[in-house]
Amino acid sequence: MFKLLTVPNPKLRIEAEPVDDFGPETIALIDGAIELMYAQEGAGLAAPQFGVHKKFFVMDIPESREDEKSQLQVFINPEIISQSEEQVVLTEGCLSVPGVSAEVTRSKEIRVRYLDRDFKSRERDFFGWQARCILHEYDHLVGKLYVDHLPPMKRKMLLKESARYQREQNQENQANES
Ligand SMILES: [Zn+2]
């Protein structure tokens, strides 16, 4: 299985390259991303989060709260072609910034052009948590993290908190191993 990268790994800050291989190699990477996302109990995961600098991410978020079934979607070479002026504040967390979360303001609705899991071209509007997750994952493809949207002091504090959380987790894991 792929290994999840966490802050301050500099690989999280590299802009990804467009996907240009539409064969088994890319399919294997996508399957690996899906496996890692579910293993980490995440709602979304972008390729750079496991050190692959290709422009794709996976997401599994229901359209509404009542909807419980899986809504797995794959976004290859996504482009955000429009964003609503209306913005919303939602709490974001990130598998690569473990142990913390923060309120982030972003557009409420977006229109995205992308290739789906079958490499079929699509253009669709998204809103709510799906729009939020897409904007968050899209950031990963250009080397950005959600904390970059916060005031510098707040960002610094969160990254410090996440570092401490990661240290504690490592100590716990080592204690369990010995
Ligand atoms: Zn993230």
In a domain, 50, yes or no: yes
pTM of the model: 0.95
Indicate which residues carry an active-site annotation: 137
- Please report which residue ranges of 40-151 form alpha helices under DSSP H: 128-141
Starting from the edge strand earliest in sequence, which strands make up the sheet with 56-60, in order?
Answer: 44-46, 56-60, 72-83, 109-115, 121-127
In a domain, 59, yes or no: yes
Whole-number CA gyration radius for the chain: 16
> 82 lies in which domain range?
10-177
Mean pLDDT of the chain: 95
In a domain, 5, yes or no: no
31-40 per-position pLDDT tens digit? 999 999 999 9
Residue pair 165/100 in contact (Cβ under 8 Å)? The answer is yes
Average pLDDT over residues 9-23: 97
**Distance between Cα 172 and ligand 1 center (Å):** 24
**Distance between Cα 178 and ligand 1 center (Å):** 31
145-172 per-position pLDDT tens digit? 999 999 999 999 999 999 999 999 999 9
51: left (phi over 0), alpha (psi -120 to 50) or beta: left
3-class SS of residue 88:
strand
**Alpha-carbon distance 43 to 62, whole Å?**
10
3-class SS of residue 114:
strand
Residue pair 76/39 in contact (Cβ under 8 Å)? The answer is no
**Distance between Cα 152 and ligand 1 center (Å):** 18
Residue 177 confidence (pLDDT) = 83
Is residue 77 scored above 90 in pLDDT?
yes
Overall number of domains in the chain:
1
In a domain, 58, yes or no: yes
**Distance between Cα 25 and ligand 1 center (Å):** 23
What CATH number is attached to the domain comprising 40?
Answer: 3.90.45.10
**Alpha-carbon distance 33 to 41, whole Å?**
12
- Our measurement of the distance from residue 172's CA atom to the centroid of its chain's CA atoms, rounded to an integer in Å, reads 26
Residue 70 confidence (pLDDT) = 81
Token pair for 69:
């079934």
Sign for the pseudo-dihedral over CA of 86, 90, 94, 99: positive
Burial 17-50 (b: 16+ CB within 10 A, else e): eebeeeeeebeebbebbbebbeeeebbbbbbbbb
